A and B are shown apart, each in its own frame.
Chain A
Amino acid sequence: MKRPGWLVSSPDKGEVLDGFQREIIELLPRLRRMARAITRSVADADDLTQLTVERALVRADQWAPGTRLDSWMYRIMKNAWIDEARSRTRQARIFAPEEQGLNIGADGEAAMEAHLQAASVAQAMARLPDDQRLAVALVLVEGLSYREAAAVLEIPEGTLTSRLVRGRNALLADLRGAA
């Protein structure tokens, strides 16, 4: 696990972070991953993550301690993304999903292969409707259970599973075509 210690603590800043913020900081890598799965570019993903963090800090008093902070933040992210999607005019534009900055440590063949595969997955994900992509991202990328994912999306479990079925069949068809 390559994660420099300063990512989770910040002694140099000489400021005391409260426990809530500390937990948010620990969640940042996962929030970025979720954002990467639902947006189309690294820049959008980090924008969305930042917006999520800002909203979470503002609404800190709405989080019930003892409940899962990750689910709460995924929900904030989902809402931010949906707000964004509603007013977005960019859907009209045709974007080839930007090369996702998935890290390739060394440029060996295996790494290149993995990168290409990741890129084709990202493209297929980008072609899914938002509701299916959110469901797939929470369950397949973030590993949430159906119950947790349904709670994040504020939908019944049955709705979640139909989105998962449709989303996954679309991905299968898409990736089969690409292969």
Chain B
Amino acid sequence: MKIDDRKLIAYVDGELDAFGRAEVEAAVAADPVLGVRLEEHRMLRAKVSGAYAAVVQESVPAQLMAAAQAGAKPDPNNVVTLADRRKPSPVVKPQMKVSLPAWSSAAATLMVGVVAGYLISQQNAGVLAPSMDGALVARGGLAKALDNNLSANSGPTRLGISFKTADGRYCRTFQADAQRMAGIACHEGPRWIARMTTAAPAPSKSFDYRPAASATAPAVLAAVDGMIEGDPLDRAGEMAAKARRWRD
């Protein structure tokens, strides 16, 4: 009985019935060369599945999460076609394309956040305070950290992601553990204005992976997705922006 590759592979893939399995096993027992071949195919299956196994344990990128959470009823005018996605940069850059529903939910989050932030600020006037024009301005330790610190996962006020918005402002995500507060502040004029805030979880050791971003609350990440233009700043980008005092 000749066992061809198709049959051998079907055996490795568990696609044969009892009769087929017995056939292969008998043939392998009688032919060492076939045994080697079988082993090769077994190893290959293990290697290939092993090569991608770790992917399912990675954190899902915030942008992808936001896409999946976007409003269930899509606007037919807002259907993203492949052509759309291909236009600006077909290959390398993941585009920060956020569909309308994602925007609107980010906006809702932002509104809730700002109100909550205002309330929080009443109790923690130390880090955020409403100014004369109603904007929530970063003060004290938070303002200092926003000005001076690079993104890091430690310290009483941690900066997570620094990025630029479409209108060219620098914004940074922050988490102030003492105040149990996280949010996004953007540099406007001489001040850092809180664009959104949310209650932060108690400081945890760490999420796995993604050192800087991982500690960022999901609501904050979702809001970043709605605001960011291009990629977040890397270390060098942060240093350069800091040197320019977060102006253009």
Spell out A's residues near B (CB within 8 Å).
1-4, 6-7, 10, 12-15, 17-18, 20-21, 24-25, 28-30, 32-33, 36-37, 41, 43-44, 46-47, 49-51, 53-54, 57-58, 60, 80, 83-84, 87-90, 101-103, 105, 114, 117-118, 121-122, 125, 136, 139-141, 143, 145-146, 161-162, 164-165, 168-169, 171-172, 175
Segment with Cβ contacts to A, from B77-85, B142-150, B155-163? B77-85
A36 touches B55 (CB 8 A): yes
A83: chain B residues at CB < 8 Å are: 82
Q: Nearest-CB distance from A50 to chain B (Å)?
A: 5
- Chain B residues within an 8 Å CB radius of A140: 44-45, 48-49
Contact residues of A: prevailing secondary structure = helix
Chain B residues within 8 Å of A162, by CB: 6
* A contact residues around B76 at 8 Å (CB): 58
- Say yes or no for B52: interface residue by CB 8 A criterion: yes
For B57, give the chain A residue with the smallest CB separation. Answer: A2
B72 touches A20 (CB 8 A): yes
Chain A residue contacts of B173, Cβ below 8 A: none
| Chain B residue at minimal CB-CB distance from A7 | B60
B1 interface contact, C-beta 8 A: no
By a CB distance below 8 angstroms, the chain A residues around B45 are 140
Q: Are A21 and B68 in contact (CB under 8 A)?
A: yes
Bitwise, B33-58 to A at CB < 8 A (1) or not (0) is 00000001100110111111111111
A105, B48: Cα distance in complex, Å: 19
Asked if B72 contacts A102 (CB within 8 A), the reply is no
**What is the CA–CA distance of A25 and B208 in the complex, to the nearest angstrom?**
19
Other-chain residue from B6, B9, B56, B80 in contact with A51 (beta carbon distance below 8 A): B80
Contact A29 B6 (CB under 8 A): no
**A-B contacts, 7 listed (Cβ < 8 Å):** A10-B218, A13-B105, A17-B69, A88-B90, A103-B209, A105-B208, A118-B54
Chain A residues with CB under 8 Å of B50's CB are 114, 117-118, 121
**Binary CB contact string for chain B from 6 to 48 against chain A (1 if under 8 A, 0 otherwise):** 1001100101000000000000000000000000110011011
A50 to B108: give the CA distance in the assembly, Å: 22
Q: Chain B residues near A88 (CB, 8 Å)?
A: 90
* Residue contact B48 to A125, C-beta cutoff 8 Å: yes
B65 close to A4 (CB less than 8 A): no
Chain A residues positioned under 8 Å from B90 (CB to CB): 88-90
Measured in the bound complex, the distance between the Cα atoms of B54 and A114 in whole Å is: 11
Contacts of B85 in A (CB 8 A): 47, 51
